[in-house]
Amino acid sequence: MIDFLIIGGGIAGLTAAARISEIGSVTLLEGEDALAYHASGRSAALFERNYGKPSTIALNTASYEFHKEADVLSPRGIMLVGTATDSAAFDADLTQMGLDRLTIPEAQERFPILDPNVITQVGYDERAQDIDTDRLVQTFAKMARQNGAEIKTKAKVTGINRTGTGWNVTTKSESYDAKNIVNAAGGWVDVIAEMAGIAPLGFTPLRRSMARIPAPDGMDVSNWPMVFAAGETWYTKPDAGALIVSPADEDLVTPHDTYADDMVLAEGLARFEENVTMSVTRLLASWAGMRTFSPDRTLVLGPSPADSSFIWCAGQGGYGMQSAPAASQLLADLIAGRAPTIPSDAVAALSPARFS
């Protein structure tokens, strides 16, 4: 009998496995051939402390020391750009993220392709940092295995049944008995809940498309910041000597191995081109991922009020990588009956009980 069966091998499930395996025995099931296959493996991850709702910011803040000690952060900086027509959105983003204002010449020094004929306002935070997502995933996988957790890929869940002592979970080839289930299935969390007879909470998997384009001729983009438009209508970031550009789309999809929509991508690239001095002539690659949100766009962490042996670790949205160290620690603290280290109002905002 396993103490905790974790469903999902993205950053949510892996961090949960690392923390919870200090409390009891853990088996993690991932349906794909590899860990972090979906959203976790397709993230343009940035550590920006003030990105998200207040409870997410509390998790971000509490996660910083782990990221630093794990050596997964590197300098990047984040820049907000606004035009004469989006001043209200610019001001809201500037205030919410606590950015400093830059002059247009100062912004051009950091992002040389910015079009001064279009951009009228700029905000900046040099403290934002890149997250080495692969290293973070492998760090938590190693922690989990060192604590005795068993991690299985190619193990898609096909059935879940309540038993007298907990749960029976089946895959195509195996059957597992567990005292508790941790639902960390990303875009599939409501599907898993329904299989277990737990009421779904209304999670929405939203597609986010990305394109990689060549860097402007003769320019070294490696030290450029991540740049996003007011209201997040597009963003761009250096990536392996090129640029990635996203239309920042949030189109509702059914959970699946999603891919970029060519029209949505073209529209986003056009918005990018309107604000810079370069033209996009070709794509090096394109892809998409699912960012899954709860109805209030806040993470859901903790036991279900309907059944305390069914534990939610869901709704990471676009914040999973930066919030994962503290989110998983909170989950383990709640399970073990320990006092959480983040503020009580944040704990309440993250609880599944808010949907009861």
Tokens in use for 277?
Answer: 């001095």
Q: Are residues 138 and 225 in the same domain?
A: no
Q: Are residues 226 and 93 in the same domain?
A: yes
CATH code (residue 19): 3.50.50.60
pLDDT given at position 218:
82
In a domain, 143, yes or no: yes
Domain that holds residue 16: 2-58+132-200+295-355
Q: Are 212 and 36 contacting, i.e. CB atoms less than 8 angstroms apart?
A: no
Tokens in use for 254?
Answer: 């059914």
Range 291-307 average pLDDT = 97
If we measure between CA atoms, which residue out of 199, 200, 208 comes closest to residue 294?
200
pLDDT given at position 45:
81
Q: What is the DSSP annotation of 206-265? A: EEEEEEEEPPPTT---TTPPEEEETTSS-EEEEETTEEEEE----EE--SSS----HHHH
pLDDT given at position 258:
85
Per-residue b or e along 318-328, where b marks 16 or more CB atoms closer than 10 Å to that residue's CB: bbbbbbbbbbb
Q: Are residues 46 and 114 in the same domain?
A: no
DSSP 3-state assignment of 80? strand
Degrees, nearest 5: CA angle 353-318-189: 45
Asked which of 35-44, 190-199, 310-319, 346-355 is least confident by mean pLDDT, the reply is: 35-44
Q: Are residues 243 and 260 in the same domain?
A: yes
> What is the band of 291 on the pLDDT scale with cuts at 50, 70, 90?
very high
- 48: DSSP letter: -
Indicate the number of domains in the chain: 2
Range 321-342 average pLDDT = 97
pLDDT one-digit tens code per residue, 133-143: 999 999 999 99
Q: Are residues 303 and 345 in the same domain?
A: yes
CATH code (residue 241): 3.30.9.10
Q: Are residues 161 and 275 in the same domain?
A: no
Helices and strands of the chain, counted as H and E runs: 9, 20
pLDDT one-digit tens code per residue, 128-178: 999 999 999 999 999 999 999 999 999 999 999 999 999 999 999 999 999
Q: What percent of the chain has pLDDT over 70?
A: 98
If we measure between CA atoms, which residue out of 330, 320, 327, 350 comes closest to residue 46?
320
Q: Are residues 186 and 244 in the same domain?
A: no
Long-range CB pairs of 97-103 (<8 Å, 24+ gap) are 97/48, 97/50, 97/51, 97/123, 97/125, 98/50, 98/125, 99/123, 99/124, 99/125, 100/124, 100/125
pLDDT given at position 34:
83
Please tell me the distance from the alpha carbon of residue 331 to that of residue 150, in angstroms, as a whole number.
Answer: 19
> What is the band of 42 on the pLDDT scale with cuts at 50, 70, 90?
low
Q: Are 195 and 157 contacting, i.e. CB atoms less than 8 angstroms apart?
A: yes
Please tell me the distance from the alpha carbon of residue 80 to that of residue 121, in angstroms, as a whole number.
Answer: 8
Q: Are residues 53 and 136 in the same domain?
A: yes
pTM recorded for the entire structure: 0.94
Q: Are residues 54 and 184 in the same domain?
A: yes
Q: Are residues 267 and 347 in the same domain?
A: no
pLDDT reading at 44 higher than 70: no
pLDDT one-digit tens code per residue, 62-108: 999 999 999 999 999 999 999 999 999 999 999 999 999 999 999 99
Q: Are residues 195 and 243 in the same domain?
A: no
As a dihedral over the C-alpha atoms of residue 108, residue 109, residue 113, residue 114, rounded to 10 degrees, the angle is -20
H or E, element range at 74: strand 73-75
Q: Are residues 214 and 277 in the same domain?
A: yes
Tokens in use for 80?
Answer: 């907000």
